[in-house]
Amino acid sequence: MLSSLAPARRRLLLVLAAAGALLLVVVVGLAVLGTGDDVEPVAQDEPGPVLLVAGYGGSVASLEPLRTELESLGRTAVVMPPVGNGTGDLDEQAAALGELAEETAERLDAPSVDVVGYSAGGVVARLWVRDHGGDELARRVLSVGSPHHGTDIAGQVLAAIGDCPPACRQLAPGSELLRRLNAGDETPAGPTFVAVYSTKDQVVTPPESAVLDGALSFSVQLVCPRDRAEHGDLPSDPVVLATLGSALGVDRPSTPTEDVCA
């Protein structure tokens, strides 16, 4: 039938047919992608155990004030053992967090877990949620002074010596891992996210790197303007400790009141 048409009209019909086929492929593709992103949030009314994830270097001692406060609130706190001395690939650390979360939930017969990630530990927690199935098990994620958008210090080390451990390279602003992690929704469906930080932080620079779009994000200075906490002070800072009850509770998270200010 096409052979009976004039060449110009035949070409027009072929172009329209090709465009229609392409449109169909795009529509089907979008439908498939849409079903893949359909995540049902974890129920918020039954808190489970809390996993604590250390920062760069893997110092679990830094988590002790958080663990002690959580246990005083009647929560079960489990400290994640360091992976690769806390300086190895953050994706591998996220996969290890996933294994610990599943094992802990099964051992304690818990429907979900909460996660508190200090410093780079908050980035590890987000990687678990986004790329390693944590969106189906994590109920709340609290990051404390976490370089979600990188830290200039890592970038400066790379510029000065040309190399550093895997986690250091991944925490440099604009790294491939951070571009992937922050593409689109920074707080994807699944858990409720809270991010607390200090404007006096000299390790996570700029401090606003710790802010998460879509989360309850606030500095300790918002609550206590005279708070001088630097990076290493955050796990024992009164504002951070006061945040645990709300951030990991059953109600909508909120900032602490100024009553906590020393």
Task: Categorize the per-residue pLDDT at 26 as very low, low, confident or very high, splitting at 50, 70 and 90.
Answer: very low
pLDDT digits 0-9 by tens, 115-158: 999 999 999 999 999 999 999 999 999 999 999 999 999 999 99
Flag whether pLDDT at 253 surpasses 70. yes
Q: CA separation (Å) from 129 to 62, 108, 140, 253?
A: 23, 20, 10, 19
In the predicted structure, residue 102 carries a pLDDT above the cut 80: yes
- Range list of β-strands (E), 165-228: 192-197, 216-219
- CA triple 232-89-138, angle to 5 deg: 75
- CA 227/CA 221 separation, integer angstroms: 6
Q: Please, what is the average pLDDT of the chain?
A: 89
Cα dihedral sign for 106, 108, 113, 114? Answer: negative
Is pLDDT larger for residue 2 or for residue 67?
A: 67
Whole-number pLDDT of residue 1: 47
Residue type for 129, please? Answer: V
User: Does residue 7 carry a pLDDT above 60?
Assistant: no
What CATH superfamily is the domain 50-260? Alpha/Beta hydrolase fold, catalytic domain (3.40.50.1820)
Residue 4, SS3 per DSSP: helix
Residue 197: closest CA among 172, 171, 215:
215
Instruction: Please compute Rg for the chain using Cα positions.
Output: 23
Q: Summarize pLDDT for 58-69 with one digit per residue, the tens.
A: 999 999 999 999
For residue 35, the model assigns a pLDDT of: 35
Predicted pLDDT of residue 41 = 80
Contacts 24+ apart (CB under 8 A), 196-199: 196/142, 196/143, 196/144, 196/145, 196/220, 196/234, 196/239, 196/240, 196/243, 196/247, 197/144, 197/145, 197/146, 197/234, 198/145, 198/227, 198/229, 198/230, 198/231, 198/233, 198/234, 198/237
Structure tokens belonging to residue 97: 């967090």
CA dist 69 and 59 (Å) reads: 18
Has residue 167 got a pLDDT over 60?
yes
Question: What CA–CA distance (Å, rounded) separates 7 from 140?
Answer: 64
